[in-house]
Amino acid sequence: MKSILFLLLFAPLAAAFAQSDDEKAVRATITQMFDGMRKADTTLFKAVFVPGASLQSVVKNKDGLASVRNESIAGFITSVGKQKPGVLDERLSAYDVKIDAELAIAWTPYVFYYNGQKSHCGVNVFTLVKLQDGWKILSIIDTRRREGCPDLK
């Protein structure tokens, strides 16, 4: 009787903390992007994007005024391919994934290392869509700052 009561009380709680298959797939797509970046493998890297995907950064000028800078995914892929493996290393400290049907967002705080040296940190916000061949990145917008960046091992 006690085991039935235990299951009735704690099974819903355990289910709430379990990752869905879609959340695992969203995380895997983002992980593949960063693995491709670290390896300077443009085939692995570009496979996670939908055609026409966008890349934006919220930046501040020297007067502290914010604006949004648009970058091309094609240019991003090319710049990754010009690096040596291991030069680009973006480390995530967390994932917060929200999914509704074929749409997902992921909030991922990060620290970026260039040649093993901490460069900057911020947050990525990914928008992903689930297509016939799986979850693909539709857009990325990020923040970038050099102060207050934690050390991520």
Give the global pTM: 0.85
91: in domain? yes
| Domain containing residue 76 | 20-143
* pLDDT reported for residue 7: 46
DSSP letter (8 states) at residue 20: P
For the domain that residue 92 is a member of, what is the CATH number?
3.10.450.50
76: in domain? yes
150: in domain? no
68: in domain? yes
pLDDT one digit per residue (tens) for the chain, 153 residues: 555 544 444 545 444 456 799 999 999 999 999 999 999 999 999 999 999 999 999 999 989 899 999 999 999 999 999 999 999 999 999 999 999 999 999 999 999 999 999 999 999 999 999 999 999 999 999 999 999 999 887
Going by C-alpha positions, the residue among 142, 149, 147 that lies closest to residue 68 is 142
DSSP letter (8 states) at residue 150: P
Query: What are the structure tokens assigned to 105, written together?
Result: 């967002």
